[in-house]
């Protein structure tokens, strides 16, 4: 049986008004058209729903049973249509957010909090990724949006920058350079390095300072899967690493010293998405991230300039 929602709406109107003329006026249709729809509905159901006389209209017992179900069905349909419209506008559903260790540092909590406050109908699903996927889940299609460190090799990733964070050398506490207030790139490139294990060569070349080596290959000791592994390798005195200044705040270790690096471009933390997949929900997250960034000027300043009195030279 295929009973249209239009016929049910017409039936509910007549059942509530118990008058065809008033019901037709309420529905903005002619009385003749309304009567035709009700007759077709009765044929569809196979029973009389309304008892009509020249003076009155009354619900039959079958009509009363259908009225309850019709109201419920129309309510469900209307709720579903509205839910679809809300989801289409990016105001409901699930948004999958991928990120690497540290995410957006001290901006992470305010961004997530503001997004939740502003868009309570959208459920955020978070997933942290290791060095194997620096795209934060965009490359394999899991993430709708991600907080990433550029550069990335993936050609189909688009992004908006949030801030640029200075780089530091992460050194074993007993390293001969660990007590220096600042290091140059030239002093670091000859050191044995540990770097994240990743198939993304653009990302890996950035963290091994390839642009500053004049074509020489880095002295790689090993590759690691996570920041924890990297810190342990450094603390053991086996290698040094190039990382961001925020790591000292988020992963302090008594066996590791962090020394500012001069002469090297900082790390750009960006909010990113897949080309062709910037949905309304992604738009909303990107907008919130940028608005929070612009509002939290003191937080951004502390991230971008964590070393008071040190003038970073490029």
Domain harbouring 18, CATH code: 1.10.10.10
Residues 6+ apart with CB under 8 A from 302: 106
pLDDT at 308: 72
Residues 294 and 235 grouped into a single domain: no
Best CA proximity match to 163, nearest among 26, 22, 289? 289
Cα dihedral 102, 105, 109, 114 in deg (nearest 10): -120
Give the Cα separation of 79 and 106 in Å (integer).
39
Residue 66: inside a domain, yes or no?
Answer: yes
pLDDT at 311: 54
Domain edge (last residue) among 88, 115, 146: 88
Is the same domain home to 247 and 272?
no
Do 210 and 156 share a structural domain? no
pLDDT value of residue 256: 96
**171 and 258 co-located in one domain:** yes
Single pTM value for the model: 0.72
Task: Look at residue 310 and tell me if it is in a domain.
Answer: no
Are 154 and 285 part of one and the same domain?
Answer: yes
| Closest alpha carbon to 8 in 28, 32, 30, 27 | 27
* Phi-psi map region of 226: left, alpha, beta (phi>0 left; psi -120 to 50 alpha): beta
Give domain status of residue 314, yes or no. Answer: no
Decide if pLDDT at 310 tops 70: no
Sheet holding 183-184, edge to edge: 183-184, 256-262, 167-172, 241-244
Q: How confident is the model at residue 314 (pLDDT cuts 50, 70, 90)?
A: very low
Q: What is the mean pLDDT of the chain?
A: 91
C-alpha triplet 204, 207, 212: angle, nearest 5°? 110
Same domain, 138 and 21: no
- The domain tally of the chain equals 3
Residue that finishes a domain, picked among 88, 104, 126:
88
Q: Tell whether 240 is covered by a domain.
A: yes
Are 56 and 77 in a shared domain?
Answer: yes
pLDDT tens for each residue of 274-293: 999 999 999 999 999 999 99
**Residue 42 counted as domain residue:** yes
Average the pLDDT over each of 89-93, 113-117, 127-131 and give the range with the smallest value. 89-93
Cα separation, 226 vs 282, whole angstroms: 27
Considering the domain boundaries, does residue 309 fall inside one?
A: no
Count Cα neighbours of 43 within 13 Å in the Cβ-side half-sphere.
Answer: 7
Q: Which domain holds residue 291?
A: 93-163+267-304
Spatial CA neighbour of 189 closest among 211, 172, 174: 211
Asked if residue 37 is part of any domain, the answer here is yes
CATH of the domain at 138: 3.40.190.10
Q: Are residues 195 and 139 in the same domain?
A: no
In a domain, 313, yes or no: no
- Of the candidates 141, 113, 124, the residue with the CA atom closest to the CA atom of residue 90: 124
* Domain's final residue, options 61, 88, 115: 88
Tens-digit pLDDT profile for residues 10-33:
999 999 999 999 989 999 999 999
How confident is the model over 61-83, as pLDDT tens digits?
999 999 999 999 988 888 888 77
84: how many CB neighbours lie within 10 A of its CB? 11
Query: Is residue 99 located within the same domain as residue 177?
Result: no
């Amino acid at each position: 049986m295929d009973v249209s929602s239009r016929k049910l709406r017409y039936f509910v109107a007549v059942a509530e008004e118990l008058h065809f003329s008033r019901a037709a006026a309420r529905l903005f249709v002619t009385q003749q058209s309304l009567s035709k729809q009700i007759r077709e509905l009765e044929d569809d159901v196979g029973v009389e729903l309304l008892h009509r006389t020249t003076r009155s209209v009354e619900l039959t017992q079958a009509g009363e049973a259908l009225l309850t179900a019709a109201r419920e069905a129309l309510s469900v349909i209307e709720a579903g249509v509205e839910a679809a419209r809300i989801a289409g506008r990016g105001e409901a559903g699930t948004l999958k957010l991928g990120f690497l260790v540290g995410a957006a540092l001290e901006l992470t909590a305010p961004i997530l909090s503001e997004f939740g406050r502003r868009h309570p109908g959208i459920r955020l699903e978070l997933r942290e990724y290791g060095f194997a996927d620096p795209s934060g889940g965009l490359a394999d299609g899991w993430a709708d949006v991600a907080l990433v460190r550029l550069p990335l090799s993936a050609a189909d990733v688009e992004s908006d920058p949030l801030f640029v964070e200075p780089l530091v050398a992460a050194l074993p506490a007993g390293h001969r350079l660990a007590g220096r207030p600042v290091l140059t790139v030239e002093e670091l490139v000859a050191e044995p390095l540990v770097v994240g294990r990743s198939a993304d060569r653009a990302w890996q070349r950035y963290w091994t300072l390839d642009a500053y080596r004049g074509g020489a290959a880095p002295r790689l000791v090993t590759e690691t899967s996570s920041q924890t592994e990297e810190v342990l390798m450094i603390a053991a005195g086996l290698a040094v690493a190039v990382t961001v200044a925020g790591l000292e705040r988020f992963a302090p270790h008594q066996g590791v010293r962090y020394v500012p690096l001069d002469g090297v471009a900082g790390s750009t933390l960006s909010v990113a998405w897949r080309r062709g997949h910037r949905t309304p929900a992604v738009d909303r997250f990107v907008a919130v991230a940028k608005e929070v960034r612009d509002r939290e000027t003191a937080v951004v300043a502390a991230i971008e300039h964590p070393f008071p009195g040190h003038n970073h030279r490029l």
